[in-house]
Structure 1
Amino acid sequence: MKLRIAILGTRGIPNYYGGFEHISEYVSAGLVKRGHSVTVYNSHNHPYTHNSWKGVEIKHCYDPEYLVGTAGQFIYDMNCLLDARKNKFDVVLIMGYTSSSVWGKLYPKNSTIITNMDGMEWKRSKYSKPVQQFLKYAEKLAVKYSDYYVADSRVIKSYLADKYNINSEYIPYGADVYSDVEREQYDFNEALKEDYFLLMARMEPENNIETILDGFNKSNSRRKFKVLGDTGNRFGKYITNKFNNDERIEFKGSIFDNPKVRSLQNNSYLYFHGHSVGGTNPSLLEAMASEALIAAHNNPFNKSVLNTDAFYFSNAGEVQELVETVQRKDPEKSMVMNNLHKIQDQFNWERVIDQYEEFIVESYKHANHEAIIAHQ
């Protein structure tokens, strides 16, 4: 069965921003290869201005976020939905609900609506209490107005079952195994192999960047600590200022050159993953695929992916201890290889795309079967 599928809720593809853009890039191109017609909605501000990408049709919709801030995201999502209503899509896949579910009554009536339910956005500490309350409301609306649901983490799947009594399909993110071609692309002069610690994240409080750097700052390590991520926001400026006097800490800014990021992960002594909210995190899977040794924040999301194949920390003292004591011997090599096998077996893109295709087709069939019965 070949379907007309639209993907909404992202800033667009190819990915210049984050997780939903990352997965939309892979899934849209993968579904086209499997014979489906796929349209992805892009912000008119997206750097990619063509009308197609790897066989995916690109629809550019007006996005006033650059003029009015966050409120612009709601207008952009509304514009995408209004356009999608004019097209007879069999399935509309909505990535997240933050600024789209308030328009639930505008969801195309004749399309099967599938929402990727994101990662309990209302828990994010960067949001004020009123915003957190709104996000809980938006989550509730997404449940109400969607026909089917995707959870990218088993923790989210359990939460949705407990809170709303709904069954969601667990489909994680994917990652590509670090290839020999990528290895050869960088003559790694920037740092000696395994001679630095690494962190890669958006500069937000719930990513535990301050905790990690506090622990490192107190340590007696002589290694460098490279921080990847745009430090232009308020929290980023606060962090760079706070650790300005520690010459070991290097803020590298955002790096969108994927082979370079993979090389930095692969060559790090220990990769710190501080994310504490959300589902399966793409940068964590990428670090696993790049054969990095990982120290992760101790929470159910990270543990459901890494199990016993990582070091865990909850505070700056535990970070300091890891920085000063972690070795790179056989047990650590086993942890790295176990995580690589997880990527090959569970979190590879071909499998993720297969799971999306199967769920989209089954959801469409099920919804239309229900519709036929309703009309009889």
Structure 2
Amino acid sequence: MAIVGTLGVPAAYSGFETLVEHLVRYNEGLSCPVELVVYCSARHFKERPASYRGAELRYLELDANNASSILYDAVSMASALKHGVDAILLLGVSGAIALPFVRLFSRAKIVTNIDGIEWRRDKWQGLAKIVLRLSERLAVRWSHHVVADNSAIVDYVRETYSVDSALITYGGDHALSVNGAPHAGLPSRYALALCRIEPENNVHTILEAFSHNPALPLVFIGNWARSEYGRDLKARYEGGNSLHLLDPIYDVARLRTIREGATLYVHGHSAGGTNPSLVEMMHFGKPIAAFDCVFNRRTTHDQALYFRDGADLKNLTAQAAADSRFGSGAIMKRIASDHYTWEIVGRSYFDLLRT
């Protein structure tokens, strides 16, 4: 089996890379592991071992991101077919333009995770949006199996293409797999937000709601320096007692400490299916205030707290500040334990690839 469409492993902090990491680990733990190949972008790794946890690693001198991801995925699949793989797991739809040719020249099974209806996202415009929508259509048409990470995407694929897809979400239990490490400078009680700093994640709404709320300060972790949007927000809101704006934290031990200490988790994502950071946080058993969209409601089984605007969020935070028992943390933890573990995800993928 070959896994195509990511930077590779060992994983950095990213949804698909983390998925591959745990599929490799799952396969390693099987009594009869399959021969697994992971395609990696050589430009991303200074060290390039030939294998990782029993999986063979093959490196391509191509960029795995943006427009070049189309070529990266296509070359990866061509290499996999040349080496005679029985199945290919394609993560994302960038390389789907090559799938008709893959099916023409090979009998390898193709399983594609189509990600989160990428073409609908506001960050894509013009030609990029057209290409992504075409790629999605090709992925659904030419894959033997389509994977959706959220039941709302299952509905979308059925309604749009009259195709049934397999629902396989993400695991989040790895967030509890390390001991915590100290992180200085945090308030005694705080809300937490963690995301890429993009408009579709409602960053401005969250910051504005907490900007005058000293009763429950906000710790917000994100890549503020990466875009003009992020830099402008940080310049505008940084410095107040109620907001603590931190740069990305990749140390999982420190991140665990910050998550465990939170009184409330605020999740502003409005697009993209099941979000890995949300299912990770659900394992900590904290109340969650999520932006009210179908993806977040399906992920949390309609059992979280939801906001549509800043006024809603201010109301929720006021209640959380006044009552330490406010929210549905225990319910979030139970849902996560029942649905969002890597054991469940690994078994589901390998069952699909083998059938």
Give the TM-score of the pair, scaled to structure 1: 0.86
| Superposition map of 1:287-302 within 5 A | 287-302=281-296
- Aligned residue for 2:25? 29
Q: State the shift of 1:328 in Å.
A: 4.1
Letter in 2 for 1:54: R
Letter in 2 for 1:20: F
Q: State the shift of 1:237 in Å.
A: 1.7
Mapped partners of 1:36, 1:297: distance in 2: 40
Q: Which moved more, 1:56-65 or 1:136-145?
A: 56-65
Mapped partners of 1:260, 1:221: distance in 2: 24
Any stretches of 5+ residues in structure 2 without a counterpart?
none
Mapped partners of 1:187, 1:255: distance in 2: 13
- Aligned residue for 2:5? 9
Q: State the shift of 1:107 in Å.
A: 2.6
| Superposition map of 1:108-123 within 5 A | 109-123=106-120
Does the CA-based 8 Å contact 1:29-1:56 persist in structure 2? no
> When the two structures are aligned, how many residues end up with a matched partner?
348
Q: Secondary structure at the residue paired with 2:28?
A: helix
| Superposition map of 1:278-357 within 5 A | 278-326=272-320, 327-330=322-325, 332=327, 335-357=328-350
Distance 1:56-1:190 versus aligned 2 partners, 3 A rule: farther
- Aligned residue for 1:171? 168
| Superposition map of 1:1-376 within 5 A | 5-34=1-30, 35-47=33-45, 48-64=47-63, 70-97=66-93, 99-107=94-102, 109-176=106-173, 179=176, 182-183=178-179, 185-187=180-182, 189-193=184-188, 195-217=189-211, 219-234=212-227, 235-244=229-238, 246-326=240-320, 327-330=322-325, 332=327, 335-362=328-355
Q: State the shift of 1:82 in Å.
A: 2.4
Does the CA-based 8 Å contact 2:100-2:142 persist in structure 1? yes
Q: State the shift of 1:188 in Å.
A: 5.5
Q: Secondary structure at the residue paired with 1:198?
A: strand
Q: What CA deviation, in whole Å up to 9, does each residue of 1:252-304 have, x standing for no partner?
A: 11111112212211211211111111121110011111222211000111111
Mapped partners of 2:140, 2:302: distance in 1: 33
- Aligned residue for 1:371? none
Mapped partners of 2:172, 2:88: distance in 1: 24
Distance 1:316-1:113 versus aligned 2 partners, 3 A rule: same
Does the CA-based 8 Å contact 1:221-1:324 persist in structure 2? no
Mapped partners of 1:17, 1:331: distance in 2: 31
Mapped partners of 2:86, 2:248: distance in 1: 37
Letter in 2 for 1:306: T
Does the CA-based 8 Å contact 2:175-2:252 persist in structure 1? no
Distance 1:154-1:102 versus aligned 2 partners, 3 A rule: same
Mapped partners of 1:307, 1:357: distance in 2: 25
Q: Secondary structure at the residue paired with 1:58?
A: strand
Q: Secondary structure at the residue paired with 1:25?
A: helix
Mapped partners of 1:220, 1:232: distance in 2: 25
Mapped partners of 1:345, 1:245: distance in 2: 41
Mapped partners of 2:193, 2:187: distance in 1: 17
Mapped partners of 2:67, 2:350: distance in 1: 33
Alignment RMSD: 2.1
Q: Secondary structure at the residue paired with 2:36?
A: strand
Q: State the shift of 1:245 in Å.
A: 5.1
Q: State the shift of 1:247 in Å.
A: 4.6
Q: Secondary structure at the residue paired with 2:315?
A: helix
Distance 1:331-1:268 versus aligned 2 partners, 3 A rule: closer
Mapped partners of 1:102, 1:238: distance in 2: 38
Q: State the shift of 1:214 in Å.
A: 1.7
Does the CA-based 8 Å contact 1:93-1:114 persist in structure 2? yes
Q: State the shift of 1:85 in Å.
A: 2.2
Q: Which moved more, 1:27-36 or 1:113-122?
A: 27-36
Does the CA-based 8 Å contact 1:268-1:292 persist in structure 2? yes
Mapped partners of 1:32, 1:178: distance in 2: 20
Mapped partners of 1:50, 1:253: distance in 2: 30
Letter in 2 for 1:161: R
Does the CA-based 8 Å contact 1:81-1:106 persist in structure 2? no
Does the CA-based 8 Å contact 2:13-2:250 persist in structure 1? no
Q: Secondary structure at the residue paired with 1:37?
A: coil
Q: Which moved more, 1:141-150 or 1:43-52?
A: 43-52
